[in-house]
Structure 1
Amino acid sequence: MSDEEVPAVASKQDTAVETGRRRGVLIRSASRVPDQPGLIHAGWIWDANAWVFCEILASLVGYEFDDLDWQAVGTALPNTDDERAELWYSYPLIGTKGTLEVTLAQAVGGSEVSVEVRGEADDALRACIALVCDLAARYEMSR
């Protein structure tokens, strides 16, 4: 399917069957990699929300995400590319209640960051992670 054939969506929060670009609008699908083991959620967030996003994910598993954690993620993020799998950046969140791996990549030329969250999650944690991603894609979040 070419970029011109990708179905349009009403808003960035809507999901589409395919991913791609159409008229400068980035279209993401939460189900773009459904068969990957351990994948809890895949989507996108605004780059300005990346720090808060990581902090909230960390809190869900009982990990205190601090300035040094952000220094590692924030330094790596500009060198990522969401269109090249080998240029995504992964960071482990190992907490008292569980472990998550957050993988991020900057949309080149855009202000979006593609995210994937992996680990083991029950339905409640899975719903919380999806909600955090949706909020970080819809609203401006601050620390």
Structure 2
Amino acid sequence: MLKRHKVLFNQLKSYREELLSLVSDVSEKEADITPKGFNNSIRWNLGHVYLDQYMWIKVLTKDNLYPDHYNGWFGFGTSPNDFSAETPSFSHLKQLLSEQTQKIIDLYGNRLEEKFPPTEMGMFTIEQALIRTIFHEGMHIQAINDLKKFIRY
């Protein structure tokens, strides 16, 4: 494995640990609050991060990595108003997120530089897609930070 791939996987793990640490003291009730002025809840943000990371890999590889109905709950433009009784709970999403990085490493650790037809953003390797998802996850870490502050103060 190339050194830069090890760095990438360390970053994936580090950001995911930061995200999970950030929500470790959030209750199920708090996770479902969408404060006035916000579009989404903490639970929605977790589901969106989970979906987004697999979605970009799926766009490239066509591998079926998550149930299609996750798009209806956590896809771009959705909100907690789209949730149903089948939507994964906050605790289940934390579990899925805690397992996701290792699953990606196991499935794609040796395929990071494999070339695929490019996405609309011009990404054509899994490595490129994962770099994009790290940035995206950081944005949602900040969104969750903001939600926690607003909910608790």
Q: Normalising by structure 1, what TM-score?
A: 0.33
More helix by share: 2
More strand by share: 1
Q: Which has the larger radius of gyration?
A: 2
Q: Normalising by structure 2, what TM-score?
A: 0.32
